[in-house]
Every structure is written in C-alpha cells, then in structure tokens.
Structure 1
Amino acid sequence: MKKAVRVLVWLAIGFGISELIYHYGLELLKVPTSSMSPGIEAGDYVLVNKFIPGPRYKANDPNRYGRFALSRSLNYGDIVVFNFPEADTIVPNKPGESYYLLRRRDAGIDTLLTEEYWGELEALKVTQRPRMIKRVAALPGDNIQIIRGVLNVNGAEKDFRISSGDSVIILPPGVYDPYVFPGNYRHGWNVDNLGPFYLPRKGDVLVLDPKTFPLYERILKVFEASAIEQRGNSFYLDGKPVQQYVFKMNYYWVHGDNRNRSFDSRYWGPVPENHIVGIVR
C-alpha cells in the first residue's frame, strides 16, 4: 500500500513539473502556415522557448501583467510565437479569419452573422487567442516606415532575410488599402508604403490629438483596457479631460519571412508584449 502511495506521489510530482515546463518553459508547436517559408514551412514543428523574454503572468490583465525575467529581452531578428492581437473578438464559424478584417471587407457583417450562420461573436482573453509565428522587425521605441516595399527602422533599411516568393508588384505611395494598418483612409497607407509610425515603449507619453489618435486608438482601448474617448478635438480618460497618455506596455513590429504570403504587422499593427509567448529555438 505504501509503495502504491509513493508511486502516486511521484506521478503527481512528475505531472506537476511537466505542466510547469509546458506553461512556463518549453513547448512543441506545429506551424499552421507558410508565412515563414523557406526557413519554416507549414506543418513543421518548432520548439518554443518561453524563458525568452521570460514566462509571463497575469497576461490577460494589462494593469497587472508581468514576466519572470529569467533571461534576455527580445532582439531584432528573433523568431517569436505570440497570441494573435486581432483575435480579441472572433467569428466562431470563421476561425481562420480576423473579425476586424471581415468587418473592413464587408460593412454588412452583422447581417452575415445571422443569415450565413457565422454564429454570435465571441470574446477571447489574450491567452486564449490563436498563436502566430513571425520575425521581430522593430523594437519598442523604434520609428518605422515602409518605403516602396522596404522596411526602414530609425531611418536605416533593414533586411531580415525576407523573401518575396513570387514576383513582387510594389504599390505606389498614396494608394489607400483599407486592409492595411491602421485601416484609416486619412493616412492613405498600403502594404508597401506605411508610416512613419512610432512603436510605443512602456512609460512613453503620447500627446493626444485628432491626427495621432487613430494610430493608437486600438492600443489604448483594447490592449491597455483604457476607458479613453475622443469628443471633437478633446480627449477624456475615465470621463476626465486629458491631453496625454502614458503607455502601460511595450510593443513590437513583426514580419513574416515570406513577404507575399504573410499576414503580419503591416495589416494589423504592433504586438503588445503581454501577447508574446516565447522565441523559436
């Protein structure tokens, strides 16, 4: 009887350790798309190292989120696994598509949800959102701009081994693409001509004005859960007038190596740090 109890105890300890490793250490993940081709192909398995940038906790609450700093911070060129930032709201019967992209594509999506049996919208916490894999192209505090298809970070061209796959048609500046971040016609951005855009760093102060607010509105309202609103040319936080905002988190810009086949920051913007799961080793 005592032997059986000892076996059960050791099994429980082993299970507990394996769960800790899975949640906070290492995880094997199957890659769903070819956005990182040719280095990583769809169907490949990769090992996710969560010790970089460190196991996260309270990831679903931007006011309490943190990490166990066991290793280093993220660097340029790191391949990262993260929860998809646009999956805070999903369409149940369209699991592979962004709700926000569907809404930009079809103004009548509310009717389609009912008539096409797409299902009722669901809200997902950060840790419940589907995972993606991309390469870090820019870090918090960087100024980025895409000029005729070339990424510039802080005024310098960057090459992160991005391949075009097929022949590339470069769009000219000023041709507005509603599917490209931030989805605002006033900026007139497209996948080949985007920015300039400043990547927020924790503690940075944003001066609020009607021109910059559309660039950061989703960050403030969704990722940082701030009750901020614009009334004319004025801004209010928790019902009180404000002229500036202090960011709670760091933000990253990511691209897929397979440029023409990658759904990345060019389309949905920066990745909040609480969405980062770990790096690929």
Structure 2
Amino acid sequence: MWYIFLAIFLIGSLYGLYLLYRKAGKQGWEAIVPFYGQYVMAQLVGRPGWWIVWLFVPIVNIFIFYDLYLNLIKAFGKRRFWENAAAVLVPFIVLPMWGRDPQVKYLGLSTSEDFKKNYPYKKSASREWADAIIFATVAATLIRGFLIEAYMIPTGSMERSLLVGDFLFVSKLNYGPRIPMTPIAFPFAHHTMPITGGKAYSEIIKVPYKRIPGFQEIKRNDVVVFNYPMETERPIDKRENYIKRCVGLPGDVLTMEMAKLFVNGDPAFTNADFQTNYMAETEPNGMNMQRLLDLRIEIDELYSDFNSGKYALHLTKEEAEIVKKWPNVKNFYEMIFPAGTASSNSISFPHYVEGPAWNYDNFGPITVPSAGSSVKLDSLTVPLYERIIRVYEGNDFELKSDGYYVNGQKTDHYTFKMNYYWMMGDNRHNSLDSRGWGFVPEDHIVGKALFTWLSWDKDGSFFSKVRWNRIFKGIN
C-alpha cells in the first residue's frame, strides 16, 4: 500500500511540475530530471543557478528546496497560505490541477523587483521570508517525523548492500511513525545542536511510547533503522540511529554455525553483497594498496600485519574469488572464529561467564522474545533476558538466596511486554550488531530503508565522486 501511495505521490507531483514547466516556456521533461530540474526551477523564480549546490548540504537543503518550490508556485499566482500548504502536503493533487487550469499562468520571476511591482502583495519581503522559513520548518518537521526522513550511511557495517556515503530515504509509514517521545526539540537536529554542540532537545515534556498503525509489520530481512539500544544517557528517540538487516523476528530461534546463520532451523537469507573477512598472505608489504583502493576493498587493520604480509580483507564471495587468484597471494582463506573460542574482539552476547563461549560466528540457539511470551528464569536464560527485564521494560530485578524477584515478587518465569528483534549487518565481520549487544525493542524502531537518492564516494574524483548507478536504487 505504501509503495502504491508513494508511486501516486511521485508520479502525480512530477506530472504537475511537467505541466507547469511547459506553461513557463520550458520543456516538461526538465522538471523530472533530479537536480537539473531544481536548476531550471531556480531560473524560473529568479534565484542563482549555483544555489542547487546547497541541495547537497543537510538541513540547508530543506530551506533551499522550499524557497525554490514555494517561489515557483508564487510565480503562478499561488501565494495564499492554504495554497502553500496544499503544494507541500498534497502536491500530487494541486500541481496537476493548476497545470491543467487555463486560468493559471506563469507570471514571471517571482523573486524579482519587477514581479513585486507588477503583482503587489501585502506582505513585506522580510515577512515573506519569515513565513517561508516557518512554513518550511513546520512542514519539513512533520514530514521528517511522521512520513519520510533522509539518512546517510557513515560506516561499512552494511557493505556491500549499502555503502559508506549512501544517502537514504527511510519510511516512517511502513511500520507506523512513533509519536515523538521528546517533542520539544530543535528542528532538523537529532540529538546535538549543529555548530554549537550541546543538547538539541528538552526533557521537560516526555511522552510514553506510542506508535501510529503502519502499513505493515517488520518482515524478516527488512533493512531497518533503529535507535541504538545500549545507549542510556539520552531518551529513546534521541539515541544514535543504526541501520541493520532484521534477521530475527519475535518468536524466532536463531543459531550461528561457522559464520552461517540459521533461523528456525533453516539457512537464513544471504545475497551476493554480503561480506566476511578473508586473510590474504603475501610477501612482507606485498599487497598493491592502490589496487585495493581502486576496487574499494577495505582492510581490517585489527587482524592485519603488513610487515608479515598478512592482509585481512572485507570481501564478498565474488571478490574473494578474484583476490585469491592474484599472483602475489600465497595463501588465502576465510577468517572464521571456531566454535567454543572467543577473543575479546569476537565474544558475543550474552557474554556467558560459565559454559561454552559464544562468538560472532558461532552462537545459539537463542529465542527472540515476543510480547506476551514467557521464559523460565535460570542461570542460562537470565544473562540473555536480564537487560530486557531491567532496562527495556523497567522492572526491579534481583537474585536472592531463594530465587529471582521481579518488582519484589518471587517468580521463576517472566512474561515479556514488548516485541523484540535481532539485527545484523551484511558485512558480517565488521558490524556492531545484535551479536554484540542483544535484542532491539520495538519502541526503538525508527523506520524502513527504501532507496538511495544519492551516493557519494569520498575516494572518487570529479564526476566519479557520485556513484551514479546507485541513485534511486531500491534497498533489498
């Protein structure tokens, strides 16, 4: 349903702009081309063409876009508040309507002095700017909070499915938007004030967790944005955003055997973009580093020793087949932690003190809790679920000489209040995920990753800085 709505929203809006551009003497197709369409929009309203550079700057791009967009509809005589509101909230309806209305005509450069003289309006220039900023702030805050939000991938934990520098759109509608838990906050900032630093929110008002019904439940293998559950110093909705693949749903039983994940006894989903670590051994300092950079292959320096010719590489299966055939590679193998062994870097949740060691490549079975399900409390289950009982569900929990006590009542079982999820990165040996800290509560879920709208390669040059093949690429 969401994809149908999104298609209607985009197609209707672009069709409306297509018609308006034609009325303004431009080619209709110019409205559809990303960024070039905004360049033409700047020409139609009298703004400098170089302003589109600001569209690449977070936060600033919101105000620049709405300035161009609202001035465009002003150029067609649409300046009343309800017309501005409709152009933002239901553009797929009003833009085609105005585009087909013969009474609606292009009047000229709406930011020019001639336009203001020929088509006077009661508002001063400063009042128009103030209204535009306030309107853009309110509209963008509502859209960002309840509909869709842009995110940027900062780390390689989802390589190669998602790349560092990918800019994503994340839907709040799919799983249902959360009512803001800390509603008093600086617009567009997540938890820290831009430039000045410091808190960008106030905890004077706190709202209990509540989610508006969405179009779907979380599905196994969805790519999900969520708040980092191990963070405690900030409110839930202001905690750091993480993005991983949801590999375990409430009630699922998970095991990991020699780096292969099983869900309810069946092999889990994998694809060609998944990465693990491989060791390539060469002569001392024998690896061509430029060749690795050209192929965008990342080195795991924690396990590498260049002086000994050992290079730990994050590779897909396809890349591994290529690297092992290089003539300077003497020995090549996948790096997997054997079952029952765990170093300080590989020990996995729940960090058992007694019993067999679990690591990132071998753990389980482990059951993901579901709301209303119960678990027996003993020395094996308490390490798995103690944080849920104490922190996520807010109970007093203690072990006394005669057994376990929850909120002062002795019990040997616990019934969960919320659903939980198990999240893992596609870069299996370079991901801080549920294997390190356990379950993700449902009240930490932010939204579903839909598609990349831009991808920026920091190691590229000139035109290759942009990964053109990833623009508007769907996330699977």
Output the TM-score relative to the length of structure 1: 0.79
Q: What is the CA distance between 1:274 and its match in structure 2?
A: 0.9
Q: What is the CA distance between 1:70 and its match in structure 2?
A: 2.6
- The residue aligned with 1:44 is 166
Match of 2:246 among 136, 141, 163: 136
Contact kept? 2:225, 2:244, Cα under 8 Å: yes
Match of 1:168 among 329, 334, 354: 334
Q: Aligned ranges for residues 20-169 of structure 1 at < 5 Å?
A: 20-57=142-179, 64-88=208-232, 123-161=233-271, 162-164=274-276, 165-166=314-315, 167-169=333-335
Partner SS state of residue 259, structure 1: coil
Match of 1:183 among 351, 367, 370: 351
Give identity over the alignment, percent: 36
Contact kept? 1:210, 1:233, Cα under 8 Å: no
Task: Point out which structure has higher relative CO (alpha carbons under 8 A, 6+ apart).
Answer: 1
Q: Aligned ranges for residues 183-222 of structure 1 at < 5 Å?
A: 183-187=351-355, 188-222=357-391
Larger mean CA deviation between 225-234 and 187-196 belongs to: 225-234
Structure 2 unaligned regions, length at least 5: 1-120, 183-206, 277-313, 316-332, 451-476
Partner deviation per Cα, 1:148-191 (whole Å, 9 max, x = no partner): 11111101111332322345322222114554101122242111
**Residue type of the alignment partner of 1:278:** G
- Structure with the larger helix share: 2
Q: What is the CA distance between 1:10 and its match in structure 2?
A: 7.3
CA separation of 1:239 and 1:210: change in aligned 2, threshold 3 A: same
**Residue type of the alignment partner of 2:162:** I
RMSD over aligned Cα atoms: 2.3
Partner SS state of residue 220, structure 1: helix
Larger mean CA deviation between 21-30 and 158-167 belongs to: 158-167
Contact kept? 1:209, 1:233, Cα under 8 Å: no
**Residue type of the alignment partner of 2:242:** M
- The residue aligned with 1:246 is 415
Moved over 3 A (4+): 2-15, 176-179
Match of 1:16 among 121, 138, 149: 138
Partner SS state of residue 67, structure 1: coil
Contact kept? 2:225, 2:448, Cα under 8 Å: yes
- Structure with the larger strand share: 1
Partner deviation per Cα, 1:3-40 (whole Å, 9 max, x = no partner): 43996667645532321111121111111101111121
Match of 1:276 among 431, 445, 466: 445
Measure, in 2, the Cα distance between the counterparts of 1:35 and 1:257.
Answer: 7
Measure, in 2, the Cα distance between the counterparts of 1:53 and 1:232.
Answer: 43
Output the TM-score relative to the length of structure 2: 0.48
CA separation of 1:227 and 1:81: change in aligned 2, threshold 3 A: same
- The residue aligned with 1:115 is none
State the aligned residue count: 244
